[in-house]
Amino acid sequence: MRPVRLMKVFVTRRIPPEGRAALAKAADCEVEQWDSDEPIPTKELERGVAGAHGLLCLLTDRVDKKILDTAGANLKVISTLSVGVDHLALDEIKKRGGWTSWKPLWMCGYGLSQSTVGIIGLGRIGQAIARRLKPFGVQKFLYSGRQPRPQEAAEFQAEFVPTSQLAAESDFIVLACSLTPATKGLCNKDFFQRMKKTAVLVNISRGDVVNQDDLYQALTSGQIAGAGLDVTTPEPLPTNHPLLTLKNCVILPHIGSATHGTRNTMSLLAANNLLAGLRGEPMPSELKL
């Protein structure tokens, strides 16, 4: 795994101990402080702010256009130890934040129309996904799993193929399989090398189906275009995990079933399953061991 790139934070003065301790504990930050109780000279401020992601300043520190230009594009946050903000060039700061003007290729991705979608695991959930994607103009569905499911696949004219073929031919790959010894680490370096450079991986199954170190390398090297993860290992990911630094990886906190209706249905199903087992009746959702 590549070392995590720490965010640079520059503090323009000695600050009270509680704030200093909070910054010191931030494992995702590299903090540099002007070690004095007196105002920082302009030249030292320019040196310290260069390349910084965060700036903690005081009312006596003039943060003007030159300082902002020196900081560069990395600068995300300016925090001031004051109520007043008259020392901050707010007009200049506004120019560097928020939405920019529209550009022809701004936020462009790849569309589902005329695409090939590969689904690993065409079970109940995999079928529901295909059913929802079909109206968006998907040209072809591929699927892989333990065995062909011709009856279920007929609705989508989905073709059963080996996983290696699915990886090579799909524009979008959706993981909807169970975590088993056969699927653990299924999406690894070899899998990603087979994928198209324009392809997107979506994982809604289990985090361990994907080798996350190999995924990080595939995303940073341009081997694949992007990834969307609703599941990870561990959950949640540590805030300093490399995947969280990537612009071509969207990570959600395992919320695929997060509706009131779905969670109520799940709870009722689990309760009825329990009661049936206790009463010696057939369990509606029994796992056959």
Concerning whether 53 is annotated as a catalytic residue, the answer is no
User: Three-state secondary structure along 18-68?
Assistant: HHHHHHHCCCCEEEEECCCCCCCCHHHHHHHHCCCCEEEECCCCCECHHHH
Contact 76, 38 (CB under 8 A): no
Q: Is the dihedral of CA 97, 102, 105, 110 positive or negative?
A: positive
Q: Residues 256, 204: contact at Cβ < 8 Å?
A: yes
Q: Which residues face 33 on adjacent strands?
A: 11
The amino acid at residue 137 is G
Name the DSSP letter for residue 220.
Answer: H
Cis before 236? omega within 30 = yes
Instruction: Indicate which residue of 53, 87, 254, 260 is catalytic.
Output: 254
Cβ neighbourhood burial of 40 (10 Å; 0-12, 13-18, 19+): buried
10: which strand partners? Answer: 32, 55
Catalytic amino acids?
A: 254
